[in-house]
């Protein structure tokens, strides 16, 4: 029996692709005579998050349980989509000269020809466009009409379609291709649809992943308290990329609170990688050979798990079942220090022990006013913060050792010098609070006390006292002169008393 003999039965085929398989949803209704010359096709785009759910197209409008829990697609939330209807020429599909089995085989082959083995939404769209271009040029596809869904109804109406022949409806533009698992599968159907007059209802669905609401928070060490690793700052405008092996690639950026809430991920294996922190250059920047990244798995029910252990960069929060509920990613400051050698100004090979120093920073506040602050250090000579000169002296001061060396680490100099390009240049210098025994203390404006971050073995030279050292001949001259003055005064006093 040729297929044309059963055209008066319903011949709507809604092929819903799930993981590359096709579900043929067809049904029969009693034939009706004298079909309308034209018919309206009302296309219902549905939102679906469960790959096991399908809709059986009957040509009639569906409600309740027939929708299998799916809801109308809301373009205002999920983005605009475009569908295009084509009349299919006999060079692609000729049901009038096929048995029903032959037609089903030819129809499936046509679907494969459209997809060309593509699996991701973006690839399917590209292959569909190639198919459309080729078959429009050779008149296998004609009478095309495209409509864009922009509202929350989920409905597009193709009006006054000739009620005879084979038709194809394709989703030709899809919103947020990286957020869906599958676009709507091709709808191939024959008109007239027996038992349907006026308006035929067809249902197309995307496969959206289940909503997941895992939150990632990006935090960084506070430049004003760089040794405090618990009270961290939330970092804005840090870019991450979520990828998988199937081509999913989505960039997400932290908000003012340092947060990213990512979801709508299809089941599978993913990697989230920090890809840019260029907006905050005083934090350690990303290196391709050693990225900050984490692998995780999305289950069918939308839950997320990971084998990532807590380390210097990641703190993972999980519920009692081991599902990830929060991810904290930490960044570290770019810090620096300087090293010095204390020597005799006249004999640079003579190394001086016991000199004490504090570090001074001259900079500008946010209003552009000049400021002077002094560094505070812990016992390991690690920078802990800025303060007054008294606070700096009260903390651990830098002290030259018996080999004359001293130094420090941990000053967030990139942060300090963030406004240098605007002319608000930050400068560092040493202040000598105690000279080595027998040497004169350096003046505050001595240029050798100025340094750049990263200086290595910078010499700090002290001169001996210009006055003779105790025990030298020069001191006796002062003693004799003093005794002479005292003796002369005594003689004058004695003589005056005798004259009275």
pLDDT computed for residue 211 by the predictor:
54
Residue 477 vs residue 253, higher pLDDT? 253
Residue 52, pLDDT above cutoff 80: no
Asked whether 168 and 158 are in contact (CB, 8 A), the reply is no
Structure tokens at 313: 């960069």
The reported pLDDT for the residue numbered 90 is 93
Share of residues in the chain with pLDDT > 90 (%): 55
* pLDDT band, residue 32 (cuts 50/70/90): very low
Which comes out higher in pLDDT, residue 49 or 428?
428
- The residue among 322, 316, 237 whose CA lies nearest residue 274 is 237
* Residue 181 pLDDT level (bands cut at 50, 70, 90): low
- Residue 164 pLDDT > 50: yes
- Cβ atoms of residues 188 and 105 within 8 Å: no
pLDDT of 120 strictly over 80: no
pLDDT band of residue 150 (cuts 50, 70, 90) is very high
Q: What is the pLDDT of residues 225-252, one digit of tens each?
A: 898 888 899 999 999 999 998 888 889 9
Q: How confident is the model at residue 18 (pLDDT cuts 50, 70, 90)?
A: very low
Mean pLDDT, residues 375-392 taken together: 96
3-state SS record for 254-302:
CCCCCEEEECCCCCEEEEEEEEECCCCCCECCCCCCCCCEEEEEECCCC
For residues 361 and 374, the answer to whether their CB atoms sit within 8 Å is: yes
Of 41-45, 67-71, 490-494, the range with the lowest mean pLDDT is 490-494
Q: What tokens were used for 429?
A: 């210098």
Q: Which two tokens stand for residue 418?
A: 């963030």
Greater confidence (142 vs 214) lies with: 142
Confirm if 78 and 47 have CB atoms less than 8 A apart. yes
Residue 329 Rama label (left phi>0; alpha psi -120 to 50; beta) = beta
Q: Is residue 78's pLDDT more than 50?
A: yes
194-203, 321-330, 381-390, 462-471: range with lowest mean pLDDT:
462-471
- Which structural domains are found in the chain, ordered by start? 3-205 (2.60.40.10), 214-331 (2.60.40.10), 336-462 (2.60.40.10)
pLDDT category of residue 29 using cuts at 50, 70 and 90: very low
- Which of 31-40, 68-77, 180-189, 290-299 shows the lowest per-residue confidence on average (mean pLDDT)? 31-40
Give the lowest-confidence range in 48-57, 77-86, 193-202, 343-352. Answer: 48-57
pLDDT of 13: 42
The pLDDT score that the predictor gives to residue 223 is 93
Distance CA 31, CA 6 (A): 9
Q: In this predicted structure, what is the pLDDT of residue 4?
A: 44
Question: Which of 9-13, 436-440, 485-489 has the lowest average pLDDT?
Answer: 9-13
> Given pLDDT bands bounded at 50, 70 and 90, which one contains residue 265?
confident
What is the model's pLDDT at position 121? Answer: 80
- From CA 83, how far away is CA 145, in angstroms rounded? 8
Q: Which SS3 state, helix, strand or coil, does residue 121 take?
A: helix
How many angstroms separate the CA atoms of 361 and 479, rounded?
46
Q: Residue 45's closest CA among 74, 85, 78? A: 74
Task: Specify whether the CB–CB gap between 94 and 103 falls below 8 A.
Answer: no
pLDDT tens digits, 293-309: 999 998 866 788 998 88
The predicted pLDDT at position 262 comes to 77
What is d(CA 396, CA 297) in angstroms, rounded to the nearest whole number?
49
Single pTM value for the model: 0.57
């Amino acid at each position: 029996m040729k297929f044309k003999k059963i055209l008066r039965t319903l011949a709507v085929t809604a092929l819903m692709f799930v993981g590359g398989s096709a579900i043929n949803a067809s049904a029969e209704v009693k034939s009706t005579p004298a079909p309308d010359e034209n018919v309206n096709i009302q296309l219902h785009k549905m939102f679906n998050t469960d790959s096991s759910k399908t809709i059986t197209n009957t040509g009639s409008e569906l409600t309740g349980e027939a929708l299998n829990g799916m809801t109308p697609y809301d373009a205002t939330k999920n983005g605009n989509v475009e569908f295009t209807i084509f009349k299919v020429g006999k060079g692609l599909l000729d049901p009038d000269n096929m048995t029903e089995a032959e037609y089903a085989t030819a129809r499936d082959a046509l679907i494969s020809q459209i997809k060309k083995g593509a699996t991701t939404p973006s690839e399917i769209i590209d292959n569909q466009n190639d198919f459309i271009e080729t078959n429009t040029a050779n008149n296998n596809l004609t009478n095309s009409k495209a409509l864009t869904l922009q509202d929350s109804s989920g409905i597009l109406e193709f009006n006054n379609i000739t009620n005879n022949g084979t038709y194809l409806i394709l989703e030709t533009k899809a919103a947020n291709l990286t957020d869906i698992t599958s676009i709507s599968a091709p709808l191939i159907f024959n008109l007239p649809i027996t038992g349907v007059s006026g308006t035929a209802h067809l249902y197309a669905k995307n496969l959206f992943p289940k909503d997941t609401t895992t939150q990632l928070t990006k935090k960084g060490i506070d430049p004003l308290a760089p040794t405090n690793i618990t009270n961290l700052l939330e970092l804005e405008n840090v870019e991450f990329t979520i990828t998988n092996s199937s081509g999913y690639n989505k960039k997400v950026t932290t908000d003012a609170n340092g947060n990213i809430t990512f979801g709508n991920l299809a089941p599978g294996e993913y990697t989230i990688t920090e890809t840019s922190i260029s907006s905050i250059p005083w934090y350690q920047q990303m290196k391709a050979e050693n990225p900050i990244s984490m692998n995780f798995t999305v289950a069918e029910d939308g839950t997320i798990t990971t084998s990532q252990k807590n380390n210097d960069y990641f703190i993972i929060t999980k519920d009692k079942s081991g599902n990830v509920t929060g991810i904290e990613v930490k960044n570290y400051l770019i810090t620096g220090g300087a090293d010095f050698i204390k020597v005799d100004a006249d004999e640079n090979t003579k190394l001086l022990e016991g000199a004490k120093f504090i570090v001074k920073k001259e900079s500008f506040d946010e209003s552009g006013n000049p400021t002077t602050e002094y560094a505070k250090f812990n016992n390991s000579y690690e920078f802990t913060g800025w303060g007054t000169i008294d606070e700096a002296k009260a903390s651990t001061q830098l002290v030259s050792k018996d080999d004359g060396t001293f130094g420090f680490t941990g000053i967030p100099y990139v942060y300090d010098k963030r406004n240098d390009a605007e002319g608000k240049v930050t400068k560092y210098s040493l202040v000598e609070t105690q000279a080595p025994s027998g040497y004169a203390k350096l003046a505050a404006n001595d240029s050798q006390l100025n340094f750049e971050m990263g200086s290595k073995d910078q010499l700090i030279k002290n001169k001996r006292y210009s006055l003779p050292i105790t025990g030298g001949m020069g001191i006796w001259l002062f003693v004799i002169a003093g005794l002479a003055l005292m003796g002369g005064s005594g003689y004058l006093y004695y003589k005056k008393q005798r004259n009275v």
